[in-house]
Chains A and B, each alone.
Chain A
Amino acid sequence: MSIIKAEGIYKTYNETHVPVNALNGVDLQIEQGEFTAIVGPSGSGKTTLLNIIGGLDLPSKGNIFIEQTNLKDLSSKQLIDFRLHHIGFVFQAYNLIPVLTAKENTEFIMVLQKRPKKEREEKVKELLEAVGIGDKANHRPGQLSGGQQQRVAVARALASQPKYIIADEPTANLDSKSTHELLDLMADMNKKYQTTFIFATHDQRVMDKARRIVTLDDGKITSDETFDR
């Protein structure tokens, strides 16, 4: 059974004078353990789709199931709780709480999940080592490079032990070396923890690492390819 099943998703933004149809009937299934890139030109609806999959926004039409749960059936309060326990996020920028250290940022999500202190500490240590920030655990985001900050964000996303992690252009602000490192890291984590990753990107280097590439154009899926790597 798929962990994500999107059926006939439409999204229209009505906030502007002219309504914008960002998604025009998207059907998509994601299986456990995938490492999938959503690609397409600017304005094609990548962010919109990821927001809907990530439970940050609701579709105007269509259903989105996370395993058995239809996100439509959740109240806004339940949706927040659902995100906390089941979905991990890595954003393009401003991922971290600036006043908390790398360690505290990673621990924070588990505090919200009310996990016991001992478990939190072990997990934080393990993950920061895994993403290669072990020696900078007590640095605040301002004292870390962009690539290091994104690594901490990945560690935090993993710390919540989500069903899947959503990453919207996680490498957009990084130079090519950091981009490679971050992608390798995510691929490693995907293998090591069997965590599903779905990311949106423009970047050819990122696409080269993906095992599945879903292409969007004008709010529709125009191709869906799988690679063996």
Chain B
Amino acid sequence: MLAAIAWRNLWRNKLRSSVIFASITIGIIGAVITDGFMAGMTDQRADAAIANEVSNIQIHNPEYLLNQEIKYTIPDAEGMVTKIRGLSEVKGVSLRLKINAMAASANAGAGINLYGVQPDAERKVSNLHNLLVSGVYLKNDQRFPAVIGQKLAKKLNIGVGDKLIVTLTDTTGTITSGAYNVVGIYKTANDIFDESHVFVKRSDLSKLVGFPDTTGDEIAILLTNNEQTQQVVDKLNKLFAPMVKQKAILIQSWEQIQPLIKSMIDMMDYFSYLFLLIILAALAFAIINTMLMSVMERTREFGMLMALGMNRRKIFTMILTETIFLSIIGALLGLGISILIVNYYATHGFDLSSVARGMNYLGYSAQIFFRVNSQFYIMSMVLVVIIAMLSGISPAMKALKLQPATAIRENN
């Protein structure tokens, strides 16, 4: 019956309650939308990084990571690739020959990372073949093909069909040059990546530097499920335990390769909760004020209830229940509307084209697809209830201080 009284009391002053509902609703929407935007942005960045740039797991010779010299190749790379391909979690494996080089056209030059890849294997690991803005992806039957990013194409002022000259140091330490035909131009959301990553056939590149075609200095692995990344890293470390122990290879997850992305995700999470807490703290004052007014107005009523024999614990519970109902209604409204908004922008995307140039430069897409995990929804509900309970305490204490005889006499 207490709950029924508390519930009905909410509707005694409809305007006042509605103001609180509205404030909580708007506050929650603000927090959830912010989280949806920020999480969507970072998750998208992470997804793109995995799909286009780093894949889930990479294996290198640790020396290579330090010096980037091509002599530090992965021992028995082909054998490893075969074993990795056998794992059920793995979607694709690509053995790459990665070399720092200078690229030049007739007009300009730029430092690049030159990737020698096997077109079929690379397609299974990276999504670049789907991001072509002109031309086609690498094929085995093309003669010295190269795929470059749009940003680099602009910088060098070249297009599909033009020649790209790369200069690099071969295995003997001699500087050599090779000429490639640009067959395709891709564009990701990350300008810096597009400016520096050039893909050619591994067979062409190994010939140029003087390696057999079976050599590589990077194995990139894409998984069916990103959640399994750490699990597969552990598995691989066991599978290749002797080599790992001898420090012949180093197995890294994308989070280790791109720690910045991982820390961005963590930071955005942290900021979302911080923002939510700040909003809720502000709401707490509105709730305290409303409940205080409501308690003061009902001084006589509380006096009457105490006189009849309603004990302090029950009165306290009743006021707290009212406060909790008040905030739960607001929170449910807020969450309901937020879910609708988040779902809309999760499918349609939120267009940031006006500032997109800057966003792309930072590696972020201009179209943000909102994302809010259910944990955030649950946490905001839980936090609202906790804040409501805390806010209800002081008004409830106020009611408990009343003496029935005096309270009843009040404005008699």
* A residues neighboring B (CB under 8 Å): 47, 51, 54, 56-57, 77, 80-85, 87, 89, 91-92, 94-95, 97-100, 104, 107-109, 111-113, 160
Q: Are B305 and A97 in contact (CB under 8 A)?
A: yes
Listed A/B pairs (29) with beta-carbon separation below 8 Å: A54-B307, A57-B403, A57-B405, A77-B311, A80-B306, A80-B309, A81-B311, A83-B307, A83-B309, A84-B310, A85-B309, A89-B308, A91-B304, A92-B412, A94-B301, A94-B304, A97-B5, A97-B301, A98-B301, A99-B5, A99-B9, A99-B12, A100-B4, A100-B5, A100-B8, A108-B1, A111-B1, A112-B308, A160-B309
Highest count of chain A CB atoms <10 Å: which of B4, B5, B12, B307: B307
Q: Are B405 and A94 in contact (CB under 8 A)?
A: no
Nearest B residue (CB) for A79: B309
Known: A81-B311, A84-B308. 16 other contacts (CB 8 A): A57-B403, A77-B312, A80-B306, A80-B310, A80-B311, A84-B310, A89-B304, A89-B308, A94-B304, A97-B301, A98-B301, A99-B9, A104-B4, A108-B1, A112-B308, A160-B309
Q: Are A99 and B8 in contact (CB under 8 A)?
A: yes
Interface assignment of B129: CB less than 8 Å from any CB of chain A: no
Q: Are A94 and B300 in contact (CB under 8 A)?
A: yes
Name the interface residues of B251-302: CB closer than 8 Å to any CB of A.
Answer: 300-301
- How many B residues touch the partner, as a band? 20 to 34
Known: A92-B412, A98-B301. A84 touches B309 (CB 8 A): yes
Q: Which residues of A contact B311 (CB under 8 A)?
A: 77, 80-81, 84
Shortest CB–CB separation between residue A52 and chain B, in angstroms?
9
Q: What is the count of residue pairs linking A and B with beta-carbon distances less than 8 angstroms?
A: 66
Interface assignment of B83: CB less than 8 Å from any CB of chain A: no
Name the interface residues of B305-330: CB closer than 8 Å to any CB of A.
Answer: 305-312, 314
Q: Which residues of B contact A99 (CB under 8 A)?
A: 5, 8-9, 12
Nearest A residue (CB) for B299: A94
* B residues neighboring A (CB under 8 Å): 1, 4-5, 8-9, 12, 300-301, 304-312, 314, 403-405, 408-409, 412
Q: Are A109 and B405 in contact (CB under 8 A)?
A: no
Q: Which residues of B contact A84 (CB under 8 A)?
A: 308-311
Nearest B residue (CB) for A104: B1
Q: Which residues of B contact A97 (CB under 8 A)?
A: 5, 301, 305
Q: Which residues of A contact B405 (CB under 8 A)?
A: 51, 56-57
Nearest A residue (CB) for B7: A99
Shortest CB–CB separation between residue B294 and chain A, in angstroms?
12
Highest count of chain A CB atoms <10 Å: which of B307, B308, B312: B308
Nearest A residue (CB) for B314: A112
Q: Cα distance A202–B173 when bound, in Å?
A: 117
Q: Cα distance A84–B4 when bound, in Å?
A: 20
Q: Which of B8, B304, B404, B409 contacts A95 (CB 8 A)?
A: B304
Nearest A residue (CB) for B5: A99
Kindly list the 6 A-B residue pairs having the minimum CB-CB distance in the complex, ordered from nearest: A84-B309, A99-B8, A56-B405, A57-B405, A83-B309, A51-B405
Q: Cα distance A138–B1 when bound, in Å?
A: 15
Q: Which of A56, A92, A160 contacts B404 (CB 8 A)?
A: A56
Q: Cα distance A224–B325 when bound, in Å?
A: 53
Shortest CB–CB separation between residue B403 and chain A, in angstroms?
8
Q: Cα distance A77–B307 when bound, in Å?
A: 12
